[in-house]
Amino acid sequence: MAPGRMEYIKGDKPNGCIFCRGSAREKDLVLHEGNSCYIIMNKYPYTSGHLLVIPFRHMCDMEETNAEEKMEMMELTAMCVRNLKKAFEPEGFNIGMNLGKVAGAGIDNHLHIHVVPRWLGDTNFTTVLGEVRVIPEDIATTRKTLLRYFEKREEW
């Protein structure tokens, strides 16, 4: 169903921001680092291949980003889409930000973009009735698939 989710719910939460360098961020989930932003796999994904684009600099508001961060966030988002298309052939994408707790942000103190691949029928009765997501592949397998694409240094 959602492997590891109960561990997150019941477990101790790390101190500080989990997206900042030098923090408790999951280094083995990082797929690419740019100059001002990076791409990481969502540890608790909505679907297989759910990625996050995150600026290195700690901030929570879009208006705090500088021109380089804005540009690189969009370039890395496009890189995510391109590589997810190659790796998993999704039929569509949800791309966006949840700014603030009331908007659904699980981590509301560090700006990030969600890139969620979608397939026809990937939302089924378990999501609607039980508020449960079914992830068809474990995160380690997804990472192994994606690394082949993110390790290639193609021009954007």
The residues assigned a catalytic role are 112
**Is 54 strand, coil or helix?**
strand
Which has the closest alpha carbon to 150: 86, 55, 91? 86
Start-to-end CA distance of the chain, whole Å, equals 35
Return d(Cα 67, Cα 57) in angstroms, integer: 13
- On whether the CB atoms of residues 76 and 37 are closer than 8 A, the answer is yes
Is the CB of residue 79 less than 8 Å from the CB of residue 86? no
